[in-house]
């Protein structure tokens, strides 16, 4: 099997430093101390490819767009070209995909977010290969709305080496400037041919249903819990809790609350860590993404493994949202933590009611 792999090395950099994305914000992300996320996720994917026991020939683009990560874990890929400069661009991604098509690959595997997915899909269409060469994403972006991604980097390698059929799926993206202002308007960018497998995520849809009673119950419990620090995640469900507490929270950011007041608004990872209390006195309140079921790893990278390990986790969701997802997922960038978080868990669905859901 011939697989072309391209990595967007800056994908997801803005997440943990509170930028909700990296489009046009690379230098600001670096100034805030952001570490690249995609290269490590690419190495995890390449490790799984290496261990897949399949006859796979890997083609990559040069430098941090695939070559470095592949060679770091002992692969010897065929390098078909390199980015034009140290600052990689969408044009570099498109050039890589065109080269993969010329090399007659069976699949284009990419590491990035929705913007990278759109670049890959558009390049395949421009080369006349959008219906003949499937594409598959290993998620590394902050926002992942498209249905062309595997659940994790390891799953991407598994799907890439085992799929036996494809289907047409949507590539969605949003305007990150609008997203930072709390406005979410997904736009269809392309329709791509994608492997069919159990380890693929669905397109992200906005959940509905009333959450008034749920939000009121959670807010009451938070008010009664003195000397505890609450890390309140993004989204409309937790946003209703913030409103019940009497403040306008960051709709797509993380806010920290303690003893009746907001400690940090729209917090970065480091600000959350600085605000946490002693072990056992911190609680993350988070709601899974409607349509996908991700509790961690989509839209809330500020809730990093270091943050999660110091907190209890309270998952809240409307019944309608849970009915639409079936099961929950985590993708924290820490496989050991992901494993710890899997299994059956209680999700609060009302003022008092809870439902058992499986994290897989």
Report the distance separating Cα 190 and Cα 129, nearest Å. Answer: 13
CA distance 206 to 184: 9
CATH architecture of 2-195: 3-Layer(aba) Sandwich (3.40)
Distance of alpha carbon 240 from alpha carbon 179, whole angstroms: 18
Q: How many residues does the chain have?
A: 360
Residue 357, phi-psi category: left (phi > 0), alpha (psi -120 to 50), beta (remainder): beta
| Alpha carbon distance 91, 348 (integer Å) | 45
| pLDDT value at residue 208 | 39
pLDDT the model gives residue 203: 57
pTM reported for the whole predicted model: 0.64
Distance of CA 113 to the CA centre of its chain: 8
- Domain limits, the chain: 2-195, 212-359
Asked whether the beta carbons of 154 and 162 are under 8 A apart, the reply is no
- Does residue 67 sit in helix, strand or coil? helix
- The sign of the torsion formed by the CA atoms of 202, 207, 208, 213 equals positive
Residue 353: its pLDDT value, please?
82
From the number of C-beta atoms within 10 Å of its C-beta (0-12, 13-18, 19+), residue 290 rates as buried
pLDDT of residue 12: 61
3-state DSSP percent of the chain in helix, strand and coil, to 5: 35, 25, 45
Q: What's the distance, Cα to Cα, between the start and end of the chain in Å?
A: 29
What are the DSSP E strand ranges found in 196-239? 229-232
Pair 99, 61: CB distance under 8 Å: yes
pLDDT along the chain (360 residues), means of 10: 95 54 53 72 95 87 96 96 91 97 98 93 96 94 80 93 91 62 66 85 50 89 92 93 92 92 95 91 93 88 95 93 88 94 92 87
d(CA 267, CA 234): 11
pLDDT of residue 146: 82
Burial of 336 (0-12, 13-18, 19+ CB in 10 A): exposed
Taking the C-alpha atoms of residue 241 and residue 283, their distance in angstroms, rounded to an integer, is 14
């Amino acid at each position: 099997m011939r697989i072309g792999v391209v990595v967007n090395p800056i994908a997801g950099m803005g997440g943990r430093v509170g930028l909700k994305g990296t489009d046009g914000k690379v230098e600001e992300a670096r100034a805030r101390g952001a570490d690249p996320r995609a290269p490590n996720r690419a190495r995890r994917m390449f490790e799984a490819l290496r261990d897949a026991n399949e006859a796979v020939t890997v083609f990559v683009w040069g430098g941090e767009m695939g070559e470095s990560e592949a060679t770091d874990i002992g692969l010897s890929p065929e390098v078909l070209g390199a980015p034009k400069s140290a600052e990689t661009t969408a044009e570099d991604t498109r050039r890589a995909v065109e080269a993969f098509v010329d090399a007659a690959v069976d699949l284009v595997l990419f590491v990035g977010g929705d913007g990278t997915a759109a670049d890959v899909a558009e390049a395949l269409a421009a080369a006349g290969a959008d219906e003949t060469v499937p594409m598959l994403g290993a998620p590394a972006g902050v926002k992942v709305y498209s249905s062309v991604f595997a659940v994790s980097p390891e799953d991407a390698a598994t799907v890439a080496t085992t799929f036996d059929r494809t289907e047409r799926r949507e590539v969605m993206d949003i305007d990150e400037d609008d997203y930072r202002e709390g406005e979410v308007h997904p736009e269809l960018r392309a329709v791509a041919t994608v492997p069919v497998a159990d380890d693929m995520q669905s397109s992200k849809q906005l959940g509905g249903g009333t959450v008034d009673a749920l939000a009121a119950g959670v807010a009451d419990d938070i008010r009664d819990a003195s000397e505890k620090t609450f890390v309140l995640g993004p989204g409309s469900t937790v946003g209703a809790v913030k409103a019940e507490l009497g403040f306008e929270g960051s709709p797509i950011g993380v806010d920290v609350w303690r003893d009746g007041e907001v400690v940090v608004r729209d917090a970065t990872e480091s600000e959350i860590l600085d605000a946490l209390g002693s072990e056992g006195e911190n609680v993350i309140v988070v709601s899974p993404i409607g349509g996908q079921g991700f509790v961690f790893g989509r839209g809330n990278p500020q809730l990093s493994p270091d943050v999660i390990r110091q907190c209890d986790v309270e998952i809240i969701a409307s019944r309608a949202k849970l009915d639409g997802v079936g099961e929950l997922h985590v993708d924290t960038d820490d496989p050991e933590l992901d494993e710890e978080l899997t299994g059956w868990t209680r999700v609060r669905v009302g003022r008092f009611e809870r439902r058992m859901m499986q994290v897989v």
